[in-house]
C-alpha cells in the first residue's frame, strides 16, 4: 500500500503545458504583470515537450503587401469547410501578423529570408497565397528554443516532470482553485493553488495505431476539461496526415511524419504491386489534399494492397536524387538513421493521426465557460473547423497563448488568496491516480494495443454508424480494463504508471471522439461517414458539442454562425461574395 504524500504550492497563475501556447502565455503574463507569481508545469523538460517544437512546415501569416488577412481568413474558413467559429478564425489571422513580428523582434526567432532580404514565405497546401513563414524545415525548434530561453531568464516557477491530474474548481463553486499535479520524479502529489489556470497541454490524437504527436501527449487537458464539466466542440474532427512511417509495432518511429513536401515535389505513392493509385482518386494525384490522399490510402490498405508492415510505399526514385538530397536533407538523414534510403528506395508509409481540430470551447481572449479557467492551443476547438491548414497550427498556439497570457494579466490579482479547493475532489483525484500502484500488475499494453487498433479501424479515416456504435461499447470495456489494471515498479519516475494515467485520459477522449463522430451524420473535412458521404447544406452547418454526463460522453449539435463570411448558396461553385 502506498501512502500518498501531498505538497502544496500557491501561485497567482498556473499554466499547464509548455508548448507554443504555454510559453507565450507565461511570457505575456509575466511581462504585462511582473508582480504576478506564475508557475508553468510540463510533463518533461521545459522547451522539449509538446508539438509546437515538432513543426516542420511553418507559420501562416499575411505580411506580404500583396496578401491580406481577409484572404488568409477566407482560406482558413474554406479549408475548415465552414465549420469554424469565425470570430476565433478572424482572431487567428489578424493575431498572426502581430505575433510573427513579436517572435522575430522581441523573442529573437530568425526566420528564413528571400533573396531580397525580406522574410521568405513558401507555398503550403490549401492557400491562395504563399504565406508560410519558416526556418528551413525545423521552424518549431527555432520558435520553442527562443521562447524557452526567455522563460528560463525570468522569475517563472518551472514545474518540470510534473503532469496535471485534474482541475480543481473552487469549493464554493466560484471560480478556480488550481490543479492537482503529480511530481513524476518524486512520485509526490503537488496541489497547486491558483485562482487562474491556463489549459495549454496540447491535444494530439495519440490514441490511434498510427499517430504523429510527441510521446508525452495523451490528451490530458481534454480529459481534465471533460471531467471538470466543460464542453468540447468538433471532437470528431481528427486530422490524418497521409504519410507516416510504417515500420511495424517494434519501433516508436512508426507513425512519425514523412514530410508532405515530398509529394509536392513529385513523389509517388505505390501499392505493394508497384502501381500508382492516387490518379484513380483525384486528378491532382499525390498532390491532392490531406483528407483525399489519406482516404484513398485507407481504402487501398483495407483492400490489402499492402507491404510487409501493412503500409503503402512512397517512392522518390524517379526524381533527381540531388534535388531530393538538397531539398529534403532532414528527412533523408532521418530515414538513413532508421536504416533505409529515401532517395532511391521505397519507404513504407501509412496515413497517421496528426491533429485534433476539436477541443474546449473558448473565446478569443482565452476565457472559457468556467471563470478562472483559460484555454489555448490544441486543447481548444473552433479555430480550424473541420480541417486545419498546414501552417495554421503554430499560429493558433502562439496567437491564443499570448492572448490568454494578456487576459490573465488583466484579471489576476497578485498575492490574492486563491479560493479553497473542494477537498473531496482532491481526494478523489489522488485516490484515482494512486490506485494502480496498489493493485496487482496487469498487462497494460494489451489494453493500449486494443485501444489504438479499435480507434484506427472504427473511428479512423472512414467511419460508419454501426462501426462507431460498436466502438463506443468496446471503448467502455477497454476503459474498464485499463481502470482495473495495476502497475508494478513503484511511484518514482515510473513510465508504466505514467502510461497507465495517460491511457485513462486517452480512452476517455477516444469516447468523446466516437460520440461526436456518431452524432455527425454528414461528411466534412476530416470527418468521413461512409453511410453519410454528402457534406450537407453549408448554410445549415452545425457543430458537435460533447460533455460528460455522469461518466458517459453525450453529444449535441449547435448551429454555426457566419458573422463575417457566408457560405456559397447551394449549387454554387467556389467561395461566397
Partner 1 sequence: MSGPDTALPDTALVVDLWRGDAGGGGLVRYRVPVDPGQTILDVLTWVQRHAEPGLAYRFACRVGMCGSCAVMVNGVPRWACRTRAIPVARQGRLEIRPLRHFPVIRDLVVDFEAFFARWRRALGRFAPASPPPDALAVIAPDASDRQLVDAAIECIGCGICLAACDSVGANPDYLGPAALNRAWAAVNDRRDDTMGHLRAAARDGGVHACHAQGSCRRFCPVGRDPAGAIVGLKRRLLVAALKGRL
Q: What's the CA gap between 304 and 285, in Å, rounded? A: 20
Q: At which residue does the C-alpha cell 496487469 appear? A: 442
According to the binding rule CB under 8 A, does residue 345 interact with partner 1?
no
Radius of gyration of the chain (CA): 23
Judged by beta carbon, residue 314 or residue 555, the one nearer partner 1 is 314
According to the binding rule CB under 8 A, does residue 106 interact with partner 1?
yes
Evaluate whether 276 touches 269 at the Cβ level (below 8 Å). Answer: yes
How many other CB atoms sit within 10 Å of the CB of residue 415?
10
According to the binding rule CB under 8 A, does residue 339 interact with partner 1?
yes
According to the binding rule CB under 8 A, does residue 310 interact with partner 1?
no
Q: How many residues does the chain have?
A: 577
Minimal distance, residue 61 CB to partner 1, in Å: 10
Binding to partner 1 in span 369-408, by CB under 8 A: none
According to the binding rule CB under 8 A, does residue 2 interact with partner 1?
no
Strands in 330-406 per DSSP E: 346-356, 359-360, 373-375
Please state whether beta strands 312-315 and 268-270 pair in parallel, antiparallel, or not at all (unpaired): antiparallel
According to the binding rule CB under 8 A, does residue 533 interact with partner 1?
no
Q: What's the CA gap between 221 and 81, in Å, rounded? A: 26
Minimal distance, residue 321 CB to partner 1, in Å: 20
Cα–Cα distances (Å) from 109 to 20, 104, 180, in that order, read: 13, 5, 34
3-state secondary structure of 423: helix
Task: Report the half-sphere exposure of 454 (CA within 13 A, side-chain side).
Answer: 25
Closest residue by Cα to residue 520 from 470, 556, 567, 549: 556
C-alpha cell at 561: 454562425
Residue 244 host element (H or E): strand 238-245
- Exactly one of 59, 73, 82, 107 binds partner 1 (CB under 8 A); which one? 107
- Exactly one of 2, 8, 185, 530 binds partner 1 (CB under 8 A); which one? 185
- Exactly one of 2, 6, 45, 530 binds partner 1 (CB under 8 A); which one? 45
Straight-line distance from the first to the last Cα atom of the chain, in angstroms, rounded to the nearest whole number: 67
- Exactly one of 3, 155, 252, 571 binds partner 1 (CB under 8 A); which one? 252
Site string for partner 1, 474-513 (x = CB under 8 A): -------------xxxx-xxxxxx----------------
Closest residue by Cα to residue 240 from 388, 359, 21: 388
State the catalytic residue, choosing from 72, 158, 163, 241: 241
3-state secondary structure of 177: strand
Binding to partner 1 in span 210-239, by CB under 8 A: 214-216
3-state secondary structure of 441: strand
Q: At which residue does the C-alpha cell 505514467 appear? A: 498
Judged by beta carbon, residue 1 or residue 577, the one nearer partner 1 is 1
Options 76-84, 331-339, 513-521, 554-562: segment touching partner 1 (CB under 8 A): 331-339
Judged by beta carbon, residue 216 or residue 378, the one nearer partner 1 is 216
Evaluate whether 179 touches 192 at the Cβ level (below 8 Å). Answer: yes
Judged by beta carbon, residue 286 or residue 348, the one nearer partner 1 is 348
According to the binding rule CB under 8 A, does residue 449 interact with partner 1?
no
Q: Give yes or no: 524 in active site.
A: no
Q: Is 536 left (phi over 0), alpha (psi -120 to 50) or beta?
A: left
Judged by beta carbon, residue 136 or residue 229, the one nearer partner 1 is 136
Options 118-126, 169-177, 391-399, 513-521: segment touching partner 1 (CB under 8 A): 118-126
- Exactly one of 66, 283, 318, 337 binds partner 1 (CB under 8 A); which one? 337
Binding to partner 1 in span 129-158, by CB under 8 A: 135-136, 138, 140-142, 145-146, 149-150, 152-153
Strand-pair partners of 10: 193
Evaluate whether 50 touches 56 at the Cβ level (below 8 Å). Answer: no
- Exactly one of 28, 30, 53, 131 binds partner 1 (CB under 8 A); which one? 53
Q: By CB under 8 A, how many residues form the interface with partner 1?
A: 66
According to the binding rule CB under 8 A, does residue 112 interact with partner 1?
yes
Q: Give yes or no: 263 in active site.
A: yes
State the catalytic residue, choosing from 53, 263, 448, 524: 263
Contact residues for 327 (Cβ-Cβ < 8 A; gap 6+) = 261, 265
According to the binding rule CB under 8 A, does residue 338 interact with partner 1?
yes
According to the binding rule CB under 8 A, does residue 97 interact with partner 1?
no
Evaluate whether 133 touches 390 at the Cβ level (below 8 Å). Answer: no
According to the binding rule CB under 8 A, does residue 275 interact with partner 1?
no
According to the binding rule CB under 8 A, does residue 99 interact with partner 1?
no
- Exactly one of 35, 113, 369, 521 binds partner 1 (CB under 8 A); which one? 113
According to the binding rule CB under 8 A, does residue 26 interact with partner 1?
no
Minimal distance, residue 413 CB to partner 1, in Å: 29
Q: What's the CA gap between 297 and 292, in Å, rounded? A: 9
Cα–Cα distances (Å) from 94 to 61, 367, 402, 472, in that order, read: 8, 19, 13, 40
- Exactly one of 110, 275, 438, 540 binds partner 1 (CB under 8 A); which one? 110
Give Cα 116 to chain centroid, integer Å.
35
Distinct helix (H) and strand (E) counts, the chain: 14, 20
Minimal distance, residue 477 CB to partner 1, in Å: 22
According to the binding rule CB under 8 A, does residue 108 interact with partner 1?
yes
- Exactly one of 115, 322, 424, 473 binds partner 1 (CB under 8 A); which one? 115
Q: Is 141 left (phi over 0), alpha (psi -120 to 50) or beta?
A: alpha
Which residues are known to be catalytic? 241, 263
- Which residues would be at the binding site for partner 1 (CB under 8 A)? 44-49, 53-54, 63, 100-101, 104-108, 110, 112-120, 135-136, 138, 140-142, 145-146, 149-150, 152-153, 185, 214-216, 247-248, 250-253, 256-257, 334, 337-339, 441, 445, 487-490, 492-497
Amino acid at each position: 500500500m502506498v501512502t500518498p504524500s501531498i505538497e502544496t504550492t500557491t501561485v497567482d497563475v498556473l499554466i499547464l503545458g509548455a508548448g507554443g501556447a504555454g510559453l507565450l502565455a507565461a511570457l505575456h503574463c509575466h511581462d504585462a504583470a511582473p508582480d504576478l507569481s506564475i508557475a508553468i508545469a510540463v510533463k518533461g523538460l521545459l522547451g522539449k515537450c509538446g508539438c509546437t517544437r515538432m513543426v516542420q512546415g511553418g507559420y501562416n501569416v499575411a505580411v506580404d503587401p500583396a496578401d491580406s488577412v481577409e484572404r488568409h481568413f477566407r482560406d482558413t474558413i474554406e479549408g475548415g469547410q465552414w465549420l469554424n467559429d469565425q470570430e476565433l478564425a478572424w482572431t487567428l489571422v489578424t493575431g498572426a501578423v502581430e505575433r510573427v513580428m513579436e517572435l522575430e523582434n522581441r523573442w529573437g526567432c530568425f526566420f528564413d529570408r528571400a533573396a531580397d532580404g525580406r522574410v521568405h514565405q513558401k507555398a503550403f497546401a490549401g492557400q491562395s497565397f504563399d504565406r508560410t513563414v519558416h526556418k528551413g524545415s525545423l521552424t518549431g525548434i527555432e520558435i520553442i528554443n527562443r521562447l524557452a530561453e526567455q522563460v528560463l531568464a525570468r522569475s517563472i516557477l518551472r514545474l518540470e516532470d510534473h503532469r496535471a491530474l485534474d482541475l480543481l474548481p473552487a469549493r464554493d463553486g466560484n471560480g478556480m482553485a488550481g490543479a492537482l499535479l503529480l511530481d513524476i520524479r518524486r512520485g509526490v502529489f503537488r496541489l497547486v493553488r491558483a485562482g487562474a489556470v491556463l489549459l495549454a497541454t496540447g491535444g494530439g490524437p495519440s490514441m490511434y495505431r498510427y499517430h504523429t504527436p510527441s510521446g508525452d501527449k495523451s490528451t490530458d487537458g481534454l480529459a481534465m476539461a471533460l471531467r471538470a464539466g466543460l464542453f468540447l466542440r468538433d471532437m470528431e474532427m481528427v486530422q490524418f496526415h497521409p504519410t507516416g512511417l510504417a515500420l511495424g509495432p517494434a519501433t516508436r518511429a512508426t507513425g512519425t511524419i514523412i514530410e508532405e513536401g515530398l509529394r509536392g515535389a513529385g513523389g509517388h505513392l505505390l501499392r505493394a504491386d508497384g502501381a500508382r493509385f492516387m490518379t484513380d482518386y483525384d486528378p491532382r494525384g499525390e498532390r491532392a489534399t490531406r483528407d483525399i490522399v489519406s482516404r484513398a490510402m485507407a481504402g487501398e490498405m483495407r483492400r490489402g494492397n499492402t507491404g510487409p508492415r501493412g503500409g503503402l510505399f512512397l517512392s522518390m526514385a524517379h526524381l533527381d536524387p540531388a534535388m531530393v538530397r538538397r531539398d529534403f536533407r532532414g528527412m533523408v538523414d532521418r530515414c538513413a538513421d532508421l536504416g533505409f534510403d529515401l532517395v532511391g528506395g521505397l519507404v513504407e508509409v501509412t496515413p497517421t493521426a496528426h491533429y485534433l481540430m476539436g477541443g474546449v470551447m473558448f473565446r478569443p481572449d482565452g476565457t472559457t465557460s468556467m471563470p478562472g479557467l483559460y484555454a489555448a492551443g490544441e486543447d481548444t476547438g473552433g479555430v480550424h473547423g473541420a480541417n486545419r491548414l498546414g501552417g495554421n497550427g503554430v499560429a493558433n498556439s502562439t496567437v491564443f497563448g499570448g492572448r490568454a497570457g494578456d487576459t490573465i494579466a488583466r484579471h489576476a490579482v497578485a498575492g490574492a488568496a486563491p479560493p479553497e479547493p473542494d477537498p473531496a475532489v482532491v481526494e478523489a483525484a489522488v485516490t484515482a491516480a494512486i490506485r494502480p500502484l496498489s493493485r496487482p500488475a496487469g498487462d497494460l499494453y494489451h489494453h493500449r494495443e486494443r485501444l489504438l487498433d479499435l480507434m484506427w479501424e472504427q473511428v479512423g479515416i472512414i467511419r460508419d454508424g454501426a462501426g462507431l456504435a460498436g466502438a463506443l461499447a468496446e471503448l467502455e470495456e477497454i476503459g474498464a480494463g485499463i481502470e482495473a489494471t495495476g502497475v508494478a515498479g513503484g511511484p518514482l519516475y515510473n513510465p508504466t504508471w505514467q502510461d497507465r494515467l495517460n491511457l485513462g485520459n486517452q480512452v476517455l477522449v477516444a469516447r468523446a471522439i466516437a460520440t461526436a463522430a456518431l452524432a455527425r451524420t454528414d461528411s466534412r473535412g476530416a470527418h468521413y461517414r461512409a453511410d453519410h458521404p454528402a457534406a450537407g447544406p453549408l448554410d445549415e452547418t452545425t457543430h458537435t458539442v460533447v460533455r460528460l454526463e455522469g461518466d458517459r460522453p453525450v453529444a449535441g449539435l449547435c448551429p454555426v454562425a457566419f458573422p463575417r463570411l457566408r457560405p456559397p448558396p447551394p449549387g454554387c461553385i467556389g467561395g461566397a461574395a
